[in-house]
Structure 1
Amino acid sequence: MAKPAKYIDIEQVIAKKSPGLRRWMPGFLISFLRSVLHEKDINHTMQVIGHLQGLDFCDGLMKHMNVTIAVEGLENIPETGGVIIASNHPLGGLDGITLMHAVGQKRTDLQFLVNDILLNVENLRPLFVPVNKHGPNGRAIAQLIEQTYAKDIPVLVFPAGMVSRMQNGEIADLEWKKSFVSKAIKYQKDIVPVFVDGTNSKFFYNLARFRKMLGISANLEMFLLPKEMFRQRNRKITITFGKSISWEKLNDTQKNHQQWADELRKQVYAMAKK
């Protein structure tokens, strides 16, 4: 009997990206990485739903993991025309999947600005617009981002650009970048704020805090995100869409673009307390 297709092989990925590093790494470390990155779970999941694309893939993944959502305020998304949907980023995996699924109930023409590394998830490429989170975007990518904002479609963004962290005893996004506000004004698109309810494990937040204490700039906790995603099995995630903020209001000269980004972030977390 032929072996099931293997969609990801950590050892091969390392060998391809850095042959020297692979030669140095002992077998037990490869096994450890396979466990931490949930190679077996990812391959099994893809064997089940790997034939699906786009929003169908989102739906299939949620069903496979027995994840359900409760959606509030879906009527705040316009049925036609362009809109920017700005959300907090609590989970680093299923928040994006469930957000696309929720928006897809109203609009199937959505696109999501994401870390360019996520283009490796080929099943979701039709929905993704890549953004380089660790350096400047090249001219082609910058033009693609501009073209995306200019379209009459829902554009989904995580303005923080990274997963929520523990801050002053509370789990919340870091500062929201102002670019989505600037684009809303430039292309005359209203913004719908979104709150996604969810948290990662205490270990995830403690690792982030510990590596910062040690002065390590590398985002080590990122390697835990596959594990954190599979922790969400059998969970219910609540997604709340707030009232839209008009681009004309955002163009108010009493606040600059960063101040509006800060204000919208506050509004999102205020939605969590209602």
Structure 2
Amino acid sequence: MGAAWLGRRLDRTIHAISYDSPEDPLGRRVVVRAIERITGQPRLQRIYEAYLAARRDGDNLWQMAAEYLNLTVRYDPAALAAIPRTGPLIVVANHPYGAPDGIALGYITSQVRSDFKVMAHAVLERAEALRPYLIPINFDPTAEALRANIEAKRAALAHLAEGGAIIIYPGGGVSTAPHVFGRATDLPWKRFVGRLITTTHATVVPIFFEGQASWVFHLVSRFSETLRQAMLMREVAARIGAEITAHIGAPIPFSDLTSWTDRQALLDYLRSTVYGLDPAPQRRAA
């Protein structure tokens, strides 16, 4: 009785800006909600609501999000100008912070393409402003999630076949350090990204973001997936007013990728290309 009541209460008070998912076990939801509340979620929710109240038709969501979070996104304008403005395009990047570099990547892409979609966690659909851009991926271990992900992959292929652009983080999650103060790198890249490229003959743009999440995030990641999820909101709040530096690589036409007949080898090449954009030589190996 008590657990059912608590679950219903959590559902009634669920926030657009939160990683609390109704599909998660009750205990996990309570922990995520409690930690988010004391690490910045209420402030971020207020910022989001202020944006909703002020937005107007035609506003660039990604630019507005960066402005409301006071993010300074740094990149080379010449490298940006080289990105194709038409035709199937896949933007791949590392994912050091979570939402902050997601906003930065959306902002960068929006400067040259208006026809892009973002493959991202389905929990982000709760933010109404993001829905037109999302192709949601569900990470729940259920048959329903599997079916939803099959549809998401079909949607991505169809969008590229129509000449659109796709933003995707091939690691599928925030970069993780092997030990608390180590260098964070992406989780293994998903093979589906290779299929997207080889099926649609898309041009690929690699982008590398400098930096990584806090040592606290990497500490809790070693012990608990629940705590890791709960701390994501803290990482967003910690980036308010920060600089995010992106290094945009040269577009890679599909004709330059045809020699990679093995999809895993193709992914390994693209991953090394992304990390090869790191300006610090001692950090380039990934």
What's the TM-score, normalizing by structure 2?
0.79
Shift of 1:164: 0.1
- 1:45 partner letter: I
SS where residue 13 of structure 1 aligns? coil
Do the aligned partners of residues 180 and 234 (structure 1) sit closer, same or farther apart at CA in structure 2, a change above 3 Å counting?
same
Match of 1:44 among 46, 52, 74: 46
Shift of 1:21: 4.7
Contact in 2 for aligned 1:88/1:196 (Cα 8 Å): yes
Deviations 1:15-61 (A, max 9, x none): 9949x959xx7xxx798445246332123112310143796332222
- 1:61 partner letter: A
Q: Decide which moves more: 95-104 or 72-81.
A: 72-81
How do 1:108-119 and structure 2 match up within 5 A? 108-119=114-125
Do the aligned partners of residues 30 and 190 (structure 1) sit closer, same or farther apart at CA in structure 2, a change above 3 Å counting?
closer
CA-based RMSD of the aligned residues comes to 2.9
Do the aligned partners of residues 187 and 167 (structure 1) sit closer, same or farther apart at CA in structure 2, a change above 3 Å counting?
same
SS where residue 75 of structure 2 aligns? strand
Match of 1:146 among 118, 138, 157: 157
SS where residue 113 of structure 1 aligns? strand
Shift of 1:195: 0.6
Aligned to 1:226: 233
Q: Decide which moves more: 135-144 or 180-189.
A: 135-144
Structure 1 segments unaligned to the other structure (5+ residues):
1-8, 212-217
SS where residue 155 of structure 2 aligns? helix
Deviations 1:152-183 (A, max 9, x none): 12211000001100036321112111212221
Percent of paired sites with the same residue:
24
How do 1:169-248 and structure 2 match up within 5 A? 169-211=182-224, 218-248=225-255
Contact in 1 for aligned 2:74/2:244 (Cα 8 Å): yes
Shift of 1:228: 0.6
Give, in whole Å, the separation in 2 of the partners of 1:235 and 1:57.
Answer: 19
Aligned to 2:177: 166
Aligned length: 253
Structure 2 segments unaligned to the other structure (5+ residues):
1-9, 281-286
Give, in whole Å, the separation in 1 of the partners of 2:33 and 2:184.
Answer: 31
How do 1:1-274 and structure 2 match up within 5 A? 12-13=13-14, 17=22, 21=26, 32-33=34-35, 35-36=37-38, 38-51=40-53, 52=55, 56-72=60-76, 73-135=79-141, 136-138=146-148, 139-167=150-178, 169-211=182-224, 218-253=225-260, 255-273=261-279
